[in-house]
Amino acid sequence: MTKSGHAEGYETLEVLINGRWRPGSSRHSEPVMNPATGEVLGHVPHVTGDDLDEALDASAQGFRAWSVRSALDRQSVLQAAAALMAERRDAIAKVLTLEMGKPLVEAGMEIDFAIATTRWYGEEGRRACGRLIPSRTPNTRHSVLKEPVGPAVAFVAWNFPATNVIRKVAGALAAGCSIIIKPSEETPGTCVAIARCFQDAGLPDGALNVVFGVPDTISRHLLASPIPKKVSFTGGVAVGKHLTRLAADTMKRCTMELGGHAPVIVAADCDLPSAVEACLAAKFRNAGQVCTSPTRFLVAKEIYTEFTNAFAEQASSLRVGNGLDETTQTGPLIAGRRIDWMEQLVEDAEANGARLITGGHRIDDVGSFFEPTVLCDITPDALAMTEEPFGPLALMVPVDTLDAALEEANRLPVGLAAYAFTTSQATVLRIQSDLNAGVVGINQTAVSLPEAPFGGVNETGWGSEGGIEGLETFLRTKFVNELVL
Indicate which single residue of 215, 404, 428, 476 sits in contact with ligand NAD (rule: CB under 6 A): 215
Per the annotation, the verdict on 54 as an active-site residue is no
Q: How far is Cα 366 from Cα 377, in angstroms, rounded to an integer?
A: 32
Give a three-class secondary structure readout of 21-75: EECCCCCCEEEEECCCCCCEEEEEECCCHHHHHHHHHHHHHHHHHHHCCCHHHHH
236 binds ligand NAD (CB under 6 A): yes
Taking only Cα atoms into account, the Rg of the chain, rounded to an integer number of angstroms, comes to: 23
Contact 287, 330 (CB under 8 A): yes
SS3 476: strand
Indicate which single residue of 101, 151, 260, 263 sits in contact with ligand NAD (rule: CB under 6 A): 260
- Can you state the angle between helices 71-87 and 163-175, rounded to 10 degrees? 160
Q: How far is Cα 60 from Cα 179, in angstroms, rounded to an integer?
A: 9
Per the annotation, the verdict on 257 as an active-site residue is yes
Which is nearer to ligand NAD, 35 or 235 (by Cβ)? 235
Min separation Cβ 330 and ligand NAD, Å? 18
459 binds ligand NAD (CB under 6 A): no
Indicate which single residue of 75, 219, 225, 286 sits in contact with ligand NAD (rule: CB under 6 A): 219
> For residue 266, what are the CA distances in angstroms to 311, 356, 409, 443, 445?
12, 20, 12, 9, 13
Indicate which single residue of 51, 205, 388, 472 sits in contact with ligand NAD (rule: CB under 6 A): 388
Please compute, for residue 388, the number of CA atoms within 13 A of its CA located in the half-sphere on the CB side: 24
Indicate which single residue of 150, 288, 360, 456 sits in contact with ligand NAD (rule: CB under 6 A): 456
Which is nearer to ligand NAD, 146 or 261 (by Cβ)? 261
**Cβ neighbours, 10 Å, residue 23:** 14
Which is nearer to ligand NAD, 29 or 316 (by Cβ)? 29
Element (H, E) at 363: strand 362-363
Which is nearer to ligand NAD, 155 or 421 (by Cβ)? 155
Indicate which single residue of 257, 371, 459, 472 sits in contact with ligand NAD (rule: CB under 6 A): 257
47 binds ligand NAD (CB under 6 A): no
212 binds ligand NAD (CB under 6 A): no
450 binds ligand NAD (CB under 6 A): no
19 binds ligand NAD (CB under 6 A): no
User: Using CB under 6 A as the criterion, which residues of the chain lie in contact with ligand NAD when the complex forms?
Assistant: 155, 157-160, 164, 184, 215-216, 219, 234-236, 239, 242-243, 257-260, 291, 388, 390, 416, 456
